[in-house]
């Protein structure tokens, strides 16, 4: 299975508010992109910055979502709490393993 990781590292002044809006964002991604949305992890680094790691079925789905979602009213509660975006990249998944 081919997949694409979307990596976005950013700052927020409202971690609690951002994480509280996370379920609504994930619900919207599932609703809007269906089987193209494979999963997501929100992480915090030691310096306080956050990263969103989203797994997509294809680079086209990742690019489409990156363009469409910041302006989606259903996701405004999440995106409105994002401050400075330090980096956003897409990468092809070459190998995956689970806990198996």
Over residues 9-20, mean pLDDT = 97
Q: How many other CB atoms sit within 10 Å of the CB of residue 17?
A: 13
Alpha-carbon dihedral sign for residues 21, 71, 3, 33:
positive
pLDDT digits (tens, 9 = 90+) for 41-76: 999 999 999 999 999 999 999 999 999 999 999 999
With 0-12 CB in 10 A as exposed, 13-18 as middle and 19+ as buried, what is 13? exposed
Q: What is the pLDDT of residue 98?
A: 82
Whether the pLDDT of residue 1 is over 80: the answer is no
Q: pTM for this one?
A: 0.91
For residues 7-17, average pLDDT:
97
Report how far residue 19's alpha carbon sits from residue 71's, in angstroms, rounded to the nearest whole number: 19
């Amino acid at each position: 299975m081919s997949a694409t990781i979307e990596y976005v590292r950013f700052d927020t002044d409202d971690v609690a508010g951002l994480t509280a809006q996370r379920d609504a964002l994930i619900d919207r991604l599932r609703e809007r992109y269906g089987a193209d949305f494979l999963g997501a992890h929100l992480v915090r680094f030691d310096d306080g910055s956050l990263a969103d790691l989203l797994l997509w079925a294809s680079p086209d789905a990742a690019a489409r979502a990156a363009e469409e979602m910041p302006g989606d009213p259903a996701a405004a509660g999440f995106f409105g709490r994002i401050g400075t975006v330090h980096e956003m990249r897409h990468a092809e998944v070459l190998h995956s393993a689970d806990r198996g």
